[in-house]
Amino acid sequence: MDAVIETAWTVPAIKAALDESALVREGEMTLRVLEGADPVLLATMHEYGDLPVYLSVGGAQIVCSVLLWPVAEQADTARFNAFLLKAQRLVPLSNFAITTVGDQDVYELMGELSSKTTLQTILIELRTLAENAIDATDLRETFGTEAAA
């Protein structure tokens, strides 16, 4: 069972801890806190083509997410959404969602953790989510091939 820390993480504390951690490989990611009503950590994952992964902390959980592509770009949205739900096991530890960015709905891949989890688990989540985002793009291509047949 994963150990927990006593005090819940904050976004600035996660950034500081990752900046100092020997667990992060050199050049693996660049971290930046985006200030707003609630700060968000932007982790640019260099080993995944500079993929942006967003991390926020709220209450008892940490949410990590990757924006994928606009829903409007997806042919046969209803069928694709059903396809994603069936393909869920192919992207372990992540969930698909639709979120609104500006005035457009966008597919999102996300994972949740306890706000008292270890730094190592947070890092594993960032890496897993980045890998799953690449796999989600492959799923989209699979759907396109299957739909064209």
Taking only the tens of pLDDT, the chain with its 149 residues reads 456 677 889 999 999 999 999 999 999 999 999 998 899 999 999 999 999 999 999 989 999 999 999 999 888 888 888 888 876 666 767 888 999 999 999 999 999 999 999 999 999 999 999 999 998 888 777 775 444 33
**135 found inside a domain:** yes
**111 found inside a domain:** yes
Give the Cα separation of 16 and 62 in Å (integer): 16
For residue 30, give both structure tokens.
Answer: 């660049």
Ramachandran bin of 141, using left for φ above 0, alpha for ψ from -120 to 50, beta for the remaining angles: alpha
**62 found inside a domain:** yes
Domain with 35 in it: what CATH number? Answer: 3.30.1460.10
Q: How many domains does the chain have?
A: 1
User: How much is the pTM?
Assistant: 0.86
Domain coverage including residue 87 = 11-148
- Check if the beta carbon of residue 122 is closer than 8 Å to that of residue 85: no
**5 found inside a domain:** no
